[in-house]
């Protein structure tokens, strides 16, 4: 079973800053199944990135994804107030989906 | 616009069975998508429960497999979750989600329900 480890657990930042979130897989995984989600309090997760680097419909271009193998990154080029949330990476291997434990981006 | 809506009891007794339904609007349950359940205990992260396809295929989280059943009701355009022998550890917000194919071997959960809180307590 593949384990996704996100780091750091929490980031304290200010609007306008650039942020890089990490998701590391316990073994090499297919990029096509790697996704990133944003979740705000009392809301459902929202798909940001699929296939490791493709933005979902309606997602601003300040969000970008990259990586391959075991190391994947979500970058927010310039934090907006509405970007403070928890971010999860997500992957499927052998028909089993796994989430990372999440990174909280706070003010 | 595709929407998913969860429904079911908000309180389940310990050792009982949790049953939830996800109604699908704006898409057909027989489309080439997989239909998923995900849960989130209070203050914690997301846990994938399992998925189903209208052809009857299912995949489950190994940690829950012995207690979980997910099925499709084509006549009502909805899918359901049953989780048996529940304990307090099953208390969580339960989300349904659509697993959509973007390209060959490229899938992601693009549509989510708003979630429903289920508490296991006597």
**What is the per-residue pLDDT across A67-107, written as a single tens digit (0 to 9) for each?**
999 999 999 999 999 999 999 999 998 889 999 999 999 98
Predicted local confidence at residue B111, as pLDDT: 98
Task: Tell me which H or E stretch contains B37.
Answer: strand B34-40
Averaged pLDDT, B69-98: 97
**Chain B contact for A58 (CB, 8 A cutoff):** no
pLDDT at B65: 96
pLDDT classification of A48: cutoffs 50, 70, 90? very high
| pLDDT of A3 | 96
Q: What is the pLDDT of residue A94?
A: 86
Q: Is A59 on the interface with B (CB under 8 A)?
A: no
Lookup: tokens for B34: 């997989």
Are B35 and B72 in contact by the 8 Å Cβ rule? The answer is: yes
Mean pLDDT rounded to a whole number for chain B: 96
For residue B24, the distance in angstroms to the closest alpha carbon of chain A comes to 16
In the A/B pair of chains, how many CB contacts fall below 8 A?
68
Closest approach of B9 to chain A, Cα-based (Å) = 19
Q: Which residues of A fall within a CB distance of 8 Å from B48?
A: 96-99
Of the candidates B46, B112, B115, the beta carbon closest to that of A88 is on B46
Average predicted confidence (pLDDT) for chain A: 96
- Nearest residue of chain A to residue B62 (CA atoms): A96
As a residue count, chain A comes to 107
Report residue B82's pLDDT band, with 50, 70 and 90 as the boundaries.
Answer: very high
> What is the C-alpha separation between B95 and A36, in angstroms, rounded?
17
Distance from CA of A47 to the nearest CA of B (A): 6
What are the DSSP E strand ranges found in chain A?
4-7, 10-12, 19-29, 35-39, 46-50, 54-55, 63-76, 86-93, 96-99, 103-106
Residue A35 to residue B108, Cβ atoms within 8 A? yes
Q: What stretches of chain A show up as alpha helix (H) in DSSP? A: none
% of chain B surpassing 70 pLDDT: 100
Q: What is the mean pLDDT of the segment spanning A33-44? A: 97
pLDDT, position B104: 84
Q: Are residues B52 and B72 in contact, defined by beta-carbon separation less than 8 angstroms?
A: yes
Model confidence pLDDT, tens digit, residues B16-52? 999 999 999 999 999 999 999 999 999 999 999 999 9
**Cβ–Cβ under 8 Å, residues A49 and A43:** no
Interface of B with A (CB under 8 A): 36, 38, 45-48, 51, 59, 61-62, 95, 102-110, 112-115
Q: What is the pLDDT of residues B52-74, one digit of tens each?
A: 999 989 999 999 999 999 999 99
Chain B contact for A41, CB < 8 A? Answer: no
Report the pLDDT value the prediction gives residue A12, as an integer from 0 to 100.
Answer: 95
* Residue that is written with structure tokens 């979130």 in the block: A21
Least confident stretch, A42-46, A94-98, A99-103, B89-93:
A94-98
pLDDT of residue B105: 84
């Amino acid at each position: 079973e593949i384990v996704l480890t996100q780091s750091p657990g929490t980031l304290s930042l200010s609007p306008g800053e650039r942020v890089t979130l990490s998701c590391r897989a316990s073994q090499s995984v297919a990029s096509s199944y790697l996704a990133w989600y944003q979740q705000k309090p009392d809301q459902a997760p929202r798909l940001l990135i699929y296939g490791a680097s493709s933005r979902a419909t309606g997602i601003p271009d300040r969000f970008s994804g990259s990586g391959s193998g075991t190391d994947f990154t979500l970058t927010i080029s310039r934090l907006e107030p509405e970007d403070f949330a928890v971010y999860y990476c997500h992957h499927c291997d052998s028909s089993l989906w796994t989430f990372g434990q999440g990174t909280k981006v706070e003010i | 616009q595709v929407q998913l809506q969860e429904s079911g009891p908000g309180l389940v007794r310990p050792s009982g069975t949790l049953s939830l339904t996800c109604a699908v609007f704006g898409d057909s349950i027989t489309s080439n998508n997989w239909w998923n359940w995900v849960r989130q205990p209070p203050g914690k992260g997301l846990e994938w429960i399992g998925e189903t396809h209208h052809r009857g295929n299912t995949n489950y989280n190994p940690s829950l497999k012995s207690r979980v059943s997910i099925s499709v009701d084509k006549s009502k355009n909805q899918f359901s979750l049953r989780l048996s022998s529940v304990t307090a550890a099953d208390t969580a917000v339960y989300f349904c989600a659509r697993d959509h194919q973007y390209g060959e071997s490229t899938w992601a959960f693009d549509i989510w329900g708003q979630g429903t809180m289920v508490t296991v307590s006597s």
